[in-house]
Structure 1
Amino acid sequence: MGLVAVAAVATGVTSWAVMSYSAAPPDAKAPSSADQNLRDADTLLQAGIAQQQNHDIEGADRTYRRVLELDPQNKYAWYNLGVMAHQAGRTADARADYDKALKIDPVFTSALFNKALLVESSDPDQAGELLKRVIAGNPDAATAHLHLGRIRAQQNRDKDAADEFRRAIAADPSLRSQVPEEFR
């Protein structure tokens, strides 16, 4: 007796129910080994996140790599490996991991944003392009506007910087103190 997840949509909200095969519709098929690998990968991903939150970085690293053995296209595992590498100052590894996540999902805003932060000082033009992609996906991404404003200010593009800082504050007024004085 196995389990199968079933989605139901009621009033625009998706809810998930887990049913045993015996409760599943008669035409439901047993999950394939690939489906089982994806479920195992999802379970491991959650375990890796917990390890990472509990500062067990080595354990989280091993767990995310196991996720990727089961599901090489798991953008979250690649992204989280990138976050850990970024935090450890391993910029080349972080960049490679963010790039792998973005190859899987080119509009993965968390990976776009973190990669922009990673390259902001070394390649502000690339960082600006990445931040514009974040903003295209979420026009109210306040911190993306803030960072883009800083880049534009460094490039002496004061009008563009002022526009970005204005958008950042409009989206999140608490960021006002982080805007350079001359742009407030």
Structure 2
Amino acid sequence: MSEKLTIFISYRRGDEQDFVERIRDWFVQRYGADNVFMDFAHIPPYVKFKDFIRQRLDKSDVFIPIIGPRWLELLRAKADDDEEDFVLFEIETALQLGIMIAPIRIKGGVMPKKKDLPESIRELVDYNAPELVGGAAFLKDIQGLVEAVEIGWKQRKGGAGGSNNTINVQHYMDEATAKWKSGDLNSSIELATKAIQLDPTFAPAYSRRGNSFRELGELDRALADLHEAIRLDPKFAVAYNNRGLARKAKGDLDGALADYNEAIRLDPKYASAYFNRGLARQTKGDLDETLADYNEAIRLDLKFAIAYNNRGLARQTKGDLDGAMSDYNEAIRLDPKDANAYINRGNARQTKGDLDGALADYDEAIRLDPKFAIAYINRGILYHFNLSKYPAALRDYEQYLALGGTDTRVEGWIRELKKKLGK
């Protein structure tokens, strides 16, 4: 079973605080709220700030300073105003105590140069600081970060297999995560396997390999790995969530729902588990429960773009076009590169009679993903049945089939249009 680490997160208010809170939520999911300290809001009344910070750091296993795009600017502003800088104090104290330090860069933040820092914290620059970005990459990045923190902690402790083994496990897991992010799933599996060979008790390695197997469609092997991750760490909420994804892919909706329920029981603030449970319920046609789960996922993570998109679909199915449009708009605002959200908004606009708006959305979806077959059939239908632009409709239908589209109506529509156009 993985250790329940105590985490101290250091950040600057005004420097991507919402994004920092998403990071905190992932550590809370893994270790529990009592084991993750982040904000002065957690400091009890009538205690001295520095005394309390020092006490919390002394009890912490890992100190995580988060470097956002304004981090250095805000440090300088504190110095210029001769204002107490508690973030500076946190870093100084963590360095003095010698606890594990795991800095993170976010949203384009860069590690300052030593000459730009007070001498008391210049050692911070010596640490490698991976970057977390938003959008679709966030989930993979944060999972890799949590794994790296655990491996680093085992290395410091001299965990199973000894320090050399632990260093190699960290190397293999870092590489496996990088390959997973790039879509090279076979290489990710090979690297995770090497990590498992060095440390057969490390649950995140099985979870990493299981996810890669799932994405390759090798669902039995995925489930075997995720079962093992859960056996090794029965409180690993992320592994339950991932096993739910694999079970859903096999058509076992009840098994998937059971896993999502357990993930949520272990961590009631696990937004992704609510989202995935909502998706499973949507597949079963339970729209009211689906909406409840999407609502909760969004309440827990206001920047969860795909949750807005899917809630829009559920609302549209229930006939709430205005609510659906609102959700699609927010999904696109949060993730302007999500072609699916443009397709869904285009469909809603077409239903509402906004044909120009629908066409603009389909055009944008195709611009973002020129191989997105469903975008061509949707635009083709708009050209064909609403705008009477038959040559354009014919081109879109033919492109849809060329991309592997399987809607059986399309061949008939093509014959009809060719006859109409004298081809």
Contact 1:78–1:97 (CA under 8 A) maintained in structure 2: yes
Residue 56 of structure 1 is aligned with which of 234, 249, 252? 252
Contact 1:38–1:70 (CA under 8 A) maintained in structure 2: no
If the length of structure 2 is used for normalisation, what is the TM-score?
0.37
Residue 109 of structure 1 is aligned with which of 305, 318, 325? 305
Larger CA deviation: 173-182 vs 133-142: 173-182
Corresponding position: 1:151 with 2:348: yes
Q: How far does the alpha carbon of each residue in 1:99-124 deviate from its partner, in whole angstroms, 9 at most, with x for none?
A: 11111012212211111111114111
Partner of 1:30: none
Alpha-carbon distance in 2 for matches of 1:89, 1:11: 41
Letter matched to residue 328 of structure 2 = L
Residue 120 of structure 1 is aligned with which of 316, 336, 339? 316
Corresponding position: 1:42 with 2:252: no
Partner of 2:332: 135
Structure 1 residues 42, 12: CA separation in 2 closer, same or farther (over 3 Å shift)? closer
Alpha-carbon distance in 1 for matches of 2:299, 2:333: 18
* Greater relative CO, 1 or 2 (CA 8 Å, sep 6+): 1
Partner of 1:178: 378
Corresponding position: 1:86 with 2:282: yes
Secondary structure of the residue that 1:154 maps to in structure 2?
Answer: helix
Alpha-carbon distance in 2 for matches of 1:93, 1:158: 32
CA RMSD of superposed structures (Å): 2.9
In structure 1, stretches of 5+ residues that fail to align are 25-36
Corresponding position: 1:167 with 2:364: yes
Structure 1 residues 79, 11: CA separation in 2 closer, same or farther (over 3 Å shift)? closer
Alignment: residue pair count: 172
Structure 1 residues 38, 12: CA separation in 2 closer, same or farther (over 3 Å shift)? farther
Alpha-carbon distance in 1 for matches of 2:286, 2:2: 42
Structure 1 residues 156, 59: CA separation in 2 closer, same or farther (over 3 Å shift)? closer
- Deviation for aligned residue 1:144: 1.3
Contact 1:145–1:164 (CA under 8 A) maintained in structure 2: yes
Divergent runs of 4+, >4 A: 1-15
Alpha-carbon distance in 1 for matches of 2:287, 2:337: 28
Contact 2:235–2:266 (CA under 8 A) maintained in structure 1: no
- Deviation for aligned residue 1:167: 1.3
- Deviation for aligned residue 1:140: 2.1
Contact 2:263–2:273 (CA under 8 A) maintained in structure 1: yes
